[in-house]
Structure 1
Amino acid sequence: MPSFTDCFARNQGSLTDEQQHLLHKKRVAVIGCGGLGGYVIEELVRIGVGQLHLFDPDVFSPSNCNRQLNALMPTLGQNKAEVAASRAASIHSFSKVTAFPVDFRIACEEESLQVDVAVDCLDNLQARRDLAALCNGRSMPLVHGAVSGWYGQVGVQLPGTDLIERLYPQRMTENSAPSVLSFTVAVIASLQAAETVKLLLGLPSSLHNNWMHIDLKDTDFLLNER
């Protein structure tokens, strides 16, 4: 079997040995394991995060195949969190990945949500608000991402702040299912993974308590002016 050093050798130069081993000690919850979640999980496992807790009650359907990494003909009808955990286990053995095929709100009193960072890969407004409130109640940072067509946004809510409330006020209502494109999902998820790693390593970011709008049609990355 390859060693820990072998698996993460190409991280060296961008990460120090100390940072690599620190990531191995950290726990992340990914809430939603479809489009954004599939890529976030993939990238966090490949960079060496030690524990991932995956939450999603949904199963893969044919309409997921245009953008969701783990939506394949053989996985249709299977739970998204369980499929993602199985794929993660096939990458290497240094990340412990546990699937929770339930709504995160069902498990909110359990140790499964006692993590260092939560990643919002949801597609439901009320669920996002509920997750943001849960994270604030536990003094836990939240990395937010959302996608619609060619456009997306990424932000980081630090404990005790109100980013999600500002982005999704109560007066906002749910719209019909938006168009979602594969490359937009991959870009937003990669930014979420990067912000998660910064939080785990204690690195600064212009997205802390802030957000960025991404327009891939006109190739425009616009950081919100505070």
Structure 2
Amino acid sequence: MPYSYYYWGFDPTYILVLIGAVICLVASARVKSTYNKYASYRSMSGMTGAQAAERILHSAGIYDVSVQHVSGNLTDHYNPSNKTLNLSDSVYGSTSVAAVGVAAHECGHAIQHQQGYVPLALRSAIVPVANLGSTLAWPLILIGLFFTSNTGTFLIDLGILCFSFAVLFQLVTLPVEFNASHRALRILGEQGILSDSELPYTRKVLKAAALTYVASAAASILQLLRLVLLFGGRRRDD
């Protein structure tokens, strides 16, 4: 089998995976610490995350999205398939500037959906392909390693292509998340839900959250680069 040095001995490309893991861990730790810090800052309006979400949605003319309470910590998300805005334990009933900011961010996604924001529509369209690609990528690559003919090369290339769709999903997610945060900060100010003195705190929370998506995208790119480095030379050897 080609590249036995990689498979049965030391794999120098694994450093790329470790770098990606460290980046994600640092980003995750930062968003948690930032959120916890500003979760103790009660907003002057006294509105909870759920109340702020309802107000933002209605001000945007959105009445068919329901605000729901879901368990967990920072498990907040907007589901376009059933039009539900799901707020976690730490956000739904909290009056902190951090909770209000996260709720407003999810409202940003609902507004994107209502307005037909192209990157969001593209991300939604990519989801099935990305999920399938993530599932099939490594099985195809591993099966391809048992062939030394063009069949093996084809299967490996197909596996790398499948993984590329997962990377593409991560990249398309970035503008979607950045735009949602931008909308959130603007609306919070315009609606008077947060004061000018409170917005910088919320901006820090949303910026830290955005960095987790950047970290995930970077980790995916590094993993893709690893696959190319590991198997890119197979075609030359065959």
Q: What TM-score, normalized by structure 1, do the two folds share? A: 0.29
Q: Relative to total residues, which structure has the larger strand share, 1 or 2?
A: 1
Give the number of the structure with larger relative contact order, counting CA–CA contacts within 8 Å between residues 6 or more apart: 2
Q: What TM-score, normalized by structure 2, do the two folds share? A: 0.27
Which structure has the bigger radius of gyration? 2
